[in-house]
A and B are shown apart, each in its own frame.
Chain A
Amino acid sequence: MKLTVNGIEQEIFSPPLTPLLHVLRDELDVTSPKAGCQQGGCGTCTVLIDGEPRRSCLTAVAAVDGSEITTLEGLGEPEQLSPVQAAFHERYAAQCGFCTPGMVVAATALIERKGGPVERDEVLEALGGHYCRCTGYVKIVDAVMAASRGQTGAREDEPETGEEAPVMIPGSPA
């Protein structure tokens, strides 16, 4: 089997039903996708498979043989963060950071798909399956909206939505 991971073609030797998550982490040493729940419920393992965000813990590696995989590592470099990474960093959208890889990857896909400023309900829809146990989500939603508006610096300019600060992802414990 072959995968192109963050632009580099890799031959894969794990058994066919190995979750992509473990192929990335254990075989290829790409460790940003985290093994959170390993049952599809938390979103920290989300990666882009041929450009679409999917859960790597729910994906058997053989089912994506030949695909292009993008993880958090493939989005930017420490010295050159992607817009979403920079906005998360500048706007304190990460605390412990465990959920951040999946959040950033899913948010990047959302902004790419939209091709312009994303609104709060769109962020909630796209990230609604991602758990964060630290931030309370407010700063995450704020950072994604800001990144989609090219505001990747520190927060001085509010995203121009004319609304109150977001409260929470629907259904999450307040």
Chain B
Amino acid sequence: MPAEALVPTSAEEAARLYGDGEGVVVFAGGTILLPEISAGRLKPERALMLHKSGLDGISTDGGTIRIGAMTPVSALVGGPSELISRFAENVGDGEVRRSATVGGNLCATAGVGAQRGDLGAPLIALGARVRSTGKGGERTEPVEDFLAGDRSGRLVLEVELDAPSGKWGAETLRRRHAHSYAIANVAVASNGGGLRIGVSGVGPTAVRARAAEQSRNPDDVLRDVEPVDDAVASAEYRRKMLPVLLRRALDQLETA
């Protein structure tokens, strides 16, 4: 049986059709889902297709940047935040980025042998918040809380962040090829006195590195994250490189 496709034409309709998410597969850009469906590993009965929901687009009102869940990753390259752009430009290649969405990146789980959800690192560093709906209604929470929680049962509507005004640093480790997934991503940002550190690509979701934020000691990042073994890199290599990447990113902050 082919999937029934629900195609809402507004955010409100999308939220209503989603309900509490029971039995509905959210279909955004499809760059993760469609290969699963083609291979017969996933057989959704009902797909909520968001391409006409109006949930795409980047807007700035006052000091707040809003990025709709359906905004293609390509729109973040050269977009409103240079720090986000630095990570967006490494997702797949241009053709993949035109389909891949921000919401899909935040809801991505680990792939076969590789980690995804690269954008979590800069979004955490910039203190971004996720607005989602589902069971219990709408809520807005920090990206790191959304990622640490149970994402099933949530429909992401948008990401919002205060227009970046402070300094930042970014380090990415990956093989030099359009389709090579990240070995590790580190994003740091300071605003006023505060330091925020986001790490992605080393495990199934991006993580905020609170211990390293407090101590400013790059080695402490290993108290915050537990790197995994996959086809891209070993956990041991990731453990060796993470403090190095964080030190470099913090150096960028100092000299920015």
Contact = CB atoms under 8 A, between A and B. Distances in A.
Contacts of A129: 92-96, 178-179
B35 A57 contact: yes
Interface of B: 2-3, 5, 7, 27, 29-31, 34-35, 37-39, 44, 47, 49, 51, 92-96, 98-99, 175-180
B34 A52 contact: no
A170 B27 CA distance: 32
Contact of A19 (B2, B38, B95, B177): B38
Q: Which of B38, B44, B176, B178 is the most central at the interface, judged by chain A CB atoms within 10 Å of its CB?
A: B178
A171 B175 CA distance: 7
Which applies to chain B's interface (DSSP): helix, strand, loop or mixed?
loop
Given A40-B35, A58-B31, 10 more contacts: A40-B31, A41-B179, A53-B94, A54-B98, A57-B34, A58-B96, A62-B7, A106-B95, A129-B94, A172-B177
Given A57-B38, A63-B30, A128 B93 contact: yes
Interface residues of A, number: 29
A31 interface: no
Contacts of B3: 15-17
A63 B49 CA distance: 8
Given A46-B95, A53-B95, A170 B30 contact: no
Contact of B35 (A15, A39, A106): A39
Given A16-B47, A38-B39, A58 B177 contact: no
Nearest to A110: B94
